Amino acid sequence: MRVYVIEFASPGAFSRAFDVVMESDAVASCSAEPEGRCIRIVAGSRDADALAERLYLDGGMTWCSRHDLMAERSAQATGGRSRR
């Protein structure tokens, strides 16, 4: 699973992106902050990457971060140490 946090330049770009996210069957969870023009999505890694790329190509994206949830869980399970 992967989390994307994406910010948009204008309310219009945010609104269009929100519509795309809501139409996607791949999104497991999302939150939207209209005042900050920010959307957070959780989806499978490939689906999240494809959705973020589509939102980028649609225009208006000003910032994007990506976080893998499974990597965090693995690090927590091993106390932050990698398994070898």
CA distance 64 to 23: 20
> Can you say how many angstroms the Cα of residue 37 is from the centroid of all Cα atoms in its chain?
13
| Average confidence score pLDDT of the chain | 89
Residue whose pair of structure tokens reads 């929100």 in the numeric block: 18
pLDDT more than 90, % of the chain:
81
pLDDT tens digit sequence for 5-33: 999 999 999 999 999 999 999 999 999 99
pLDDT at 77 (0 to 100): 59
Q: Does domain 2-77 have CATH number 3.40.50.880?
A: no
CA distance 67 to 84: 23
Q: Are 12 and 60 in contact (CB under 8 A)?
A: yes
Amino acid at 72: E
